[in-house]
Structure 1
Amino acid sequence: MNDVEIRKEIIETAVDMYRSGLVQGTGGNFSSRCEGGFIITPSGMAYELLAPGDLPKLSLGGEILEGSRTPSIESALHAAVYRMRPDVRAVAHTHSIYATAAASLRLPLPCLTDNQAVTFGGEIPVAQYAPIGTPELARNAAAALGSGAAVLMANHGALCVGENMRQAAERCAMLETFAKIFFIAASAGGGKALTKEEAEREAADMALRYGQK
């Protein structure tokens, strides 16, 4: 896709996430890798009112390459992920209710279902707390994410990555579902998490047998 198409896809995704309740107001931020850097949502602007020209283009070092709008306050977070993970093409950061509640526990989200094992490979790690929009938050989240697909940010929210914007957004929705399952199970006395070995085996098996080949 060219930069205009990337901008349109980001806006469509952000609007869908807003309408589904995974972001509230102008919270959260979304980006996609592009030639020379990445394109990201602007700071403090309603998603439903965005035009492609409102989304700035940044270098992987965080410098603004195109656009007059101020980029998301979390642009350093996105840049840190892209620098660390050449395989990542899109980043979605939300403050969805259940995932954020899980993040407030400052504990990894246990793998209570085989679906979570398939989607994320096991438990979801949690990054050490740091203030919003700081280099510390960017470093902590990128480090905790590692080679995975999602990370909780302590007392803040969640971040998911993907091969494209659609996959990153779908993972945010699935993470919210697994966080809901966690709290429902906890309210009934707690669930029994899959072991690391069980989760890895389930993920490897489904990678071979699920979907169209």
Structure 2
Amino acid sequence: MTVPYQDTSELRQAVIDACLSLNNLGINQGTSGNISVRVEDQMLITPSGIAYDCLSPDMLVSMPLDGRATTLGQLKPSTEWRFHQSILLSKPHMHAVVHAHPVYCTALAMNHQEIPACHYMVAAFGGNSVPLADYAIFGSEALSNNLDKALADRHGCLMANHGAVVTGETLEKAMWRMVELETLAKGYVTSLSIGHPQLLSDPEIEEVLRAFSNYGAQNK
């Protein structure tokens, strides 16, 4: 099992660098995304409404994972802190959560479409589809509950009329999944525009899931 992170300036800077990478890659825009990492019984999360290129390590917000939103003396945490907290609590082997508004993922989410087994990389998210979480207003407990349901046996999902969220055993792995998810969504949207995607069967996806146990990026 991956060991939880320690709260260091290096880790905090790595979170900021990951945020900047999301924007540089075109995965996210402005300050709409957010990232959290587990640090023992706490989580570090990006603050609300501050441009990523203005962040410094001391600006990241430390919060307990036991449900109390205690941030006295710190900046206001991301409005999405509830679902970050809930996901990390419900997935003890995952130590990072990345949320963003990638264009192709968001386009599918606007149409209330999940991503079926159109490509073997669907298995990178834990099953034969990337599910769609039901809509609820951002920052709400209802949204957190919807995401918990969608992510019960998955490492990522789309969010109806919103965006996407992924988990990772490490921050690097969560970032890898977010890039892979947008790439997958782009391929799926493109395939829909030129015809009818031929889906892989459940046994074929199960074969990929077994193969992924030794897949390079999966073992970061």
1:185 aligns with one of 187, 191, 195: 191
Determine if the alignment matches structure 1 residue 143 to structure 2 residue 149.
yes
Q: Structure 1, residues 66-122: CA drift from partner, whole Å, max 9, x if none?
A: 652000000001011011111110000010100111111223211211233345432
**Cα deviation, residue 154, structure 1:** 0.5
Determine if the alignment matches structure 1 residue 107 to structure 2 residue 107.
no
1:168 aligns with one of 163, 166, 174: 174
Following TM superposition, the consecutive aligned residue runs of length 4 or more in structure 1 with deviations greater than 4 angstroms are none
CA distance in 1, matches of 2:117, 2:14: 31
Q: Give RMSD over aligned pairs.
A: 1.8
1:125 aligns with one of 120, 131, 150: 131
TM-score in terms of structure 1 length: 0.93
Corresponding position of 1:9: 14
5+ residue gaps, structure 1, are none
5+ residue gaps, structure 2, are none
Corresponding position of 1:83: 89
Query: Residue 174 of structure 2 aligns to a residue in which SS?
Result: helix
Query: Residue 148 of structure 1 aligns to a residue in which SS?
Result: coil
Instruction: Show the 5 A alignment for 1:19-58.
Output: 19-58=24-63
Q: Which letter does structure 2 place at the counterpart of 1:9?
A: A
Q: Structure 1, residues 186-209: CA drift from partner, whole Å, max 9, x if none?
A: 01112111122211112213424x
Corresponding position of 2:205: 199
Q: 1:58–1:66: 8 Å Cα contact kept in structure 2?
A: no
Identity %: 35
Pair 43,65 (structure 1): closer, same or farther in 2 beyond 3 Å: closer
